[in-house]
Amino acid sequence: MLPERGGPAELKTQVQDRNLCTACGACAGLCPYIYTAWEKVAVIYPCGSEEGSCYRVCPRTPTDLASLDRQVFGRERSDHVLGQHAGIYFSRAKDKKISARGQYGGTVTALLAFLQEQSQIDAAVLARGSGAALPEPAVASSREEILACAGSKYSACPTLSVLPQVRRDGHRRVAMVGRPCQVTALRKMQGLLLEQQFTHLPAAGLDMFVIGLFCFWALTPAFYAFLAEKAGAEEISKVDIPGEGLKIAFTSGRELLIPIDEVRQLIRPACPECFDPTSELADVSVGSTEYDPAWNTLIVRTAAGKALVEEAQATGAIELKPYPEERLPILRQAALNKKLRVISARQGNEYLRLPLAYRQKLIQEGGN
């Protein structure tokens, strides 16, 4: 088991050197001696600190899931497969311009645009990029900037690294969109602030709304060289990875479908260790339906998430419909299988401080 506390030396040996880094960007936003390049994170100079926030906020250092549940929801979870939730829906943007720019139903972009238009946020922390270009962290403070970041990015853009920029720019009400590991890192950071530890953290003083993405794995930056090779001289307009493979749409109107096995070899080594495919600690979580490409799956988790979704629906920013009863077992089984693989792994998941009751509930459901 990993020690509960450490510093940059332990972060390097226990996470980075073992290819367990998720490139969330949290540590790079904390320390000038930690740098990201081409979605690789490295400690470029030993600062000498025996204990540091870089280690404490990392999603692959000791992570007490029950404690994070209590921090975010005020209680431990009742659903051990999908995490705490107040509702599960199909959702989509009602604005056709947003749905055309976004992935599937465009729910994430619609919620962000609604927050910005209602002056409920000053900025959003996002990933910006398109086609075969490596995405980059972005701070979006206008509708146009939010729309420019629409659409899924399939690699591990270290968006949390821009939190110091958010503070420098004077933003205080902020939305963050991130993968499950990024949501976990942010919640760990907020937990340290609640404990009055490491009060210099870049999330200090920020009122944050968290939109988590479904993510069963992210790809290495080599994916973009792979895309460029497949595209040749053609310009890519959109990329998607449905169950049948990698789908590349070109501005010419042509589409190319590549077998999923060609993509799997590009999965980041850290991703098989992830216990959370649906961003269980977010305010709301959004993913595909794996059924209808015109809609998203939307999981409402916190009171803040419920309030936003209800308001966005009432004003016509998004459209909701009940999650199909026959589809719910499929979603649950996919999440359960991911969790059971992590539980059964012999190495790599030492970071996960999973209560025995959580583990037993999952194994029990897996045996039913």
The verdict on 255 and 309 lying in the same domain is no
pLDDT tens digits for range 221-240:
999 999 999 999 999 988 99
Residue 210 is assigned to a structural domain of this protein: yes
Which has the closest alpha carbon to 178: 283, 69, 60, 317?
Answer: 283
Instruction: Report the distance separating Cα 101 and Cα 151, nearest Å.
Output: 7
CA atoms within 13 A on the CB side of 142: 3
pLDDT tens digits for range 14-65:
999 999 999 999 999 988 889 898 899 988 887 888 888 999 999 999 999 9
Instruction: Report the distance separating Cα 234 and Cα 246, nearest Å.
Output: 16
Number of domains forming the structure of the chain: 2
Structure tokens at 306: 């419920």
Residue 22 is assigned to a structural domain of this protein: no
The verdict on 122 and 242 lying in the same domain is no
The whole-number pLDDT of residue 327 equals 96
Which has the closest alpha carbon to 139: 119, 118, 152, 121?
Answer: 121
pLDDT tens digits for range 64-91:
999 999 999 999 999 999 999 999 999 9
**Which range has the worst mean pLDDT, 94-103, 199-208, 326-335, 341-350?**
341-350
The whole-number pLDDT of residue 346 equals 64
The verdict on 98 and 183 lying in the same domain is yes
Structural domain that includes position 229: 222-261
Which has the closest alpha carbon to 214: 177, 242, 180, 247?
Answer: 180
pTM here is 0.96
Q: What is the percentage of the chain residues whose pLDDT exceeds 90?
A: 82
Confidence of residue 348 (pLDDT cuts 50, 70, 90): low
What's the Rg (C-alpha) of the chain?
20
Which has the closest alpha carbon to 14: 351, 367, 368?
Answer: 351
The verdict on 249 and 276 lying in the same domain is no
The verdict on 159 and 196 lying in the same domain is yes
Residue 255 has pLDDT above 70, yes or no: yes
Residue 32 is assigned to a structural domain of this protein: no
Alpha helices in 232-277 (DSSP H): 260-264
Q: 3-class DSSP state for residue 242? A: coil
| 182 in Cβ contact with 162 (< 8 Å) | no
pLDDT tens digits for range 262-306:
999 999 999 999 999 999 999 999 999 988 999 999 999 999 999
Which has the closest alpha carbon to 63: 356, 350, 310, 359?
Answer: 350
Structure tokens at 70: 């209590």
Structure tokens at 220: 């290495």
pLDDT average, residue stretch 242-255: 89
Residues β-bridged to residue 245: 259
Which has the closest alpha carbon to 360: 342, 343, 337, 345?
Answer: 343
Q: Which amino acid, 116? A: Q
The verdict on 176 and 292 lying in the same domain is yes
How many other β-carbons are positioned within 10 Å of the β-carbon of residue 324? Answer: 13
